[in-house]
Every structure is written in C-alpha cells, then in structure tokens.
Structure 1
Amino acid sequence: MRAGTTSAQVPAYLRSRLRTVTRVEAGTAVVARAVAAGGGDLAEVEAAWAARTPSPALRTNARRLGRGYLRVLHALWPGPLDARARTWSRPVVLGLLAHRAGMGPADLARLVGYDDAQTVTAALLKLEPQDPLLITAWVNELLPDIDEMAVQVAHLHTPEQIPAHGAPLIERWAETHDTTTERLFSA
C-alpha cells in the first residue's frame, strides 16, 4: 500500500484516526448541532474546526463534502440558509443536519466515527482487494471504541470545547494525495 502501510496495519490506523481527526470531526459535528439548536453562528464552529485541521487538502475536501451534504439538507428541509453555508465543512453541515433531523449528540458522534471507519476500509478494498468479511470484522471490532469516543464528545456545546488532536502523518498523506496525478481506483 501507499506510504509503506500494510493492510495488516489498517486496524491500528483506524484507531489512530478515531483518536485524532475523527474525534475532531465528531466533536465539531456535536458542537455544530448544539450551536444550531441554540440559534448561534455556525461560522464560529467552522473557524474552530479549521484551526484544528491544518491540512489545506483536508479542509478543501471537507468543504467539498459539506456542499454535498447541504444539497441533502436543502432537499429534506427547504428554506433559507446562511449565505456562508457553502463554505462550511462536512462536520459543521452534519451537525446542522442532525439538529434538523432531531438526532442526539451521541448518535451523531457515533455516526461520524462509523462513517470514517467504513470509508477508510471501503477505500482499502479498492486499493488492495481482499476478504470483505475481514474488513467488516475490523470495523466491528472498532465499534466499542467508536461508542467510547461518542460518549466523550457528546457533551460538547461550544467551539472552544472541540478537541484539538493532531495527526501530522495523516495531514501529510492528505497533502501528498492531493497533488498526485496517479489514478488510484479503477471503479
């Protein structure tokens, strides 16, 4: 695999992501949900998330995904949105979606954790095809850790409370991936 990581190291990688970038995203989503419920300014949540996400490539991708989630939000709950919403990241828009859907903070954090784990493992299956049941078992084994992370961030309410756990290697890999011209997936 890329950067010398073997598929056997993926479970450890998933746990590292869960403790760092995923925790930041889950905490951001939970805070965005709370701020949206209180009628506050989601731009402050976006700024706090961006300060905790040093990689321009990760920020750009998260904002691209956020625009996609905004389409879902608008389709399910039409109505006016803050003009700045098109620049919000995925976790901020997920928080707004969760608020509109009536989803609780722990369930939202759990969703972010599970989504991250399954996204990484789905990509692995495309990069290095192997037994999908093994990959499913890795995600299943991570569920207690996802639940623990969800409990740890579910009480957050303000941008200052968003976790600030860095992952320099993941950030570097994102920057490298952003500039590669090699096609990684054939699907």
Structure 2
Amino acid sequence: MTPDMPPEIHPEFASMLLADGRLPVGGHTQSSGLEPALLGGLAEGDIPALVQTRLRTVVRVEAAVAVVSRHHVLAGLPLEPVQDAWAARTPSEVARAASVAVGRGQRRLTLRLWPGSGAATSLDALGTPARPVAVGAMAAAAGLDAARTARLVAYDDVQTLCAAALKLCPLDPADATAWLLDAGSAVEEVVGAVAHLTEPSGIPAPAAPLLEQWAHHHPTHSRRLFSA
C-alpha cells in the first residue's frame, strides 16, 4: 500500500469517479464557456464548433496543466510553478476566478479522500489551486496515468458543456449526446499532444481571445444560470 494509491481503487474506477459531474466540487456551476458564448451571440447551431475550438485551445492548456501537476505531485515537486504557468496562459481574471472556485472544492475533496497523500500535501501548501492543477493532483492520488489524466480533463469539459446546453437551449438531449460522441477523436488528439509533458515550460499556449472576451463580459449579465 502507498499513500497515493489505495489498492482497492482501480484507476479506471477512479477515472469514472473523477469524471462524474455529481462530484461535490461545484462543477454544476460551470457551463464550459457555453453560457458566456450564447450571451455573446453564438448561434445554437455553432455549439459543436465551440466544442472543437475549446479542445484546441482552452482544454489543451488545462489538460497539459493537469498532466504536469500530476507529475509534480508524484515527483515531490511544488505545484506553484505549474499554477503560475496556468495563470500566464489564462489572461481573463474572470476565467481564473471561476477555475479557482472549483479548484477549492477539489482541494477539499482531495484532503478528505486521500489524507496524508502527496496530493493532499501539495494542494494544502498551494492553498487556492486552479481547477486543472487540482485535477492533476487528484489524478496522482487516484493512480491515474498521464493519458487518463488528460482524457479526464478533456471529457469533463465537453460533457459539462453538453449538459449545460440542455438547460440553455431547446434541443433534443440525444443531440447533446451525439456532440459528446463526435468529440471523441478530438479528445484523443488532446491526449496525444500533452500526455508526455512534465515541465511547466512545455505547457502549450494557444490563444482563444473571443472565448476570453465572452468569459470576461459574462458577469455583467443579470440573468445567468452558470458562473462560467
């Protein structure tokens, strides 16, 4: 037995646990940028394109951050440089605040589920982890490898967006499920692009200025269902 991987938890089971939108970390408050996009003028028919754009930009950054965070926890390295790299690649303070809000819930859950683990120690020292930093630490505690970690981040983003679409748009739930399935190959592209990373300097920095702009203006809208 090791403190980071209880033998009774299989990595596949742990991956499903961490990908569950009902996890008590505040994920239900997020729409993966869909509500800001719709309020900013995105047409409902362009939602699948938004999914693909996020996978090429925001999600690729966050998956890389999670993979590098996992490596740092397992190697006994501090998470601060990874968090700094994430912040440098997330220009909008609104987007950063939304990520940290969920990261706090993930930190709390890690301290509860894996007390005394390297992940708990690292997150406790960091204090206010961003969402992908906390996910990477949780992945280390749960025994996920780098590819599963990246896949978890990418799947979670797409699934969150598709679930939010059912609340924000008049559409057939089967359509949203089809969007998730259609995103599978793009998710695997994200996995292949970031699973080998170990250093904060290797985290990619693709630009998504319109997504950032939508997120930045989102708090000014008086009728919102989601925080981001």
Q: 1:78 aligns with which of 102, 106, 115?
A: 115
Equivalents in 2 of 1:48, 1:58: separation in Å? Answer: 15
Q: Using the TM superposition, give the Cα deviation of residue 182 of structure 1 relative to its aligned residue in structure 2, in angstroms.
A: 1.9
Kindly report which structure 2 residues correspond to 1:8-157, keeping only aligned pairs within 5 A, or say none: 8-79=45-116, 81-82=121-122, 83-157=124-198
Which protein is richer in helix relative to its size? 1
8 Å CA contact 1:66–1:86 kept in 2: the answer is no
Residues of 2 paired with 1:92 and 1:183: CA distance?
27
- How many pairs align? 185
- Secondary structure, in 3 states, of the residue corresponding to 1:22? helix
Tell me by how many angstroms 1:179 deviates: 2.7
Preserved CA contact (<8 Å) 1:66 1:89:
yes
- TM-score normalized with structure 2 length: 0.78
CA contact (8 A) 2:159 2:180 kept: yes
Question: What displacement does 1:143 show?
Answer: 0.5
- Alignment partner of 1:49: what SS? helix
Cα RMSD (Å): 1.3
Q: Is structure 2 residue 204 aligned with structure 1 residue 163?
A: yes
Structure 1 consecutive aligned stretches of length 4 or more whose deviation exceeds 6 Å = none
Following TM superposition, by how much is the alpha carbon of 1:92 offset from its aligned partner in structure 2, in angstroms?
0.5
Structure 1 pair 184–97 and aligned structure 2 pair: CA distance change class (3 A)? closer
2:219 aligned partner? 178
Query: In structure 1, how many angstroms separate the alpha carbons of the residues matched to 2:169 and 2:55?
Result: 22
**How big is the shift at 1:84?**
4.0
Residue 184 of structure 1, CA deviation: 3.4
> Normalising by structure 1, what TM-score?
0.94
Shift of 1:81: 2.6
Matched residues in 2 for 1:86 and 1:93: separation?
A: 10
Preserved CA contact (<8 Å) 1:24 1:163:
yes
Aligned residue type for 1:104: D
1:12 corresponds to which letter in structure 2?
A: A
Aligned 8 A contact 2:66 2:149 in 1: yes
Structure 1: gaps of 5 or more residues: none
Read off the aligned partner of 1:136 and give its amino acid letter.
Answer: T
Mark the CA change 1:139 to 1:72 in structure 2 (over 3 Å): closer, same or farther.
same
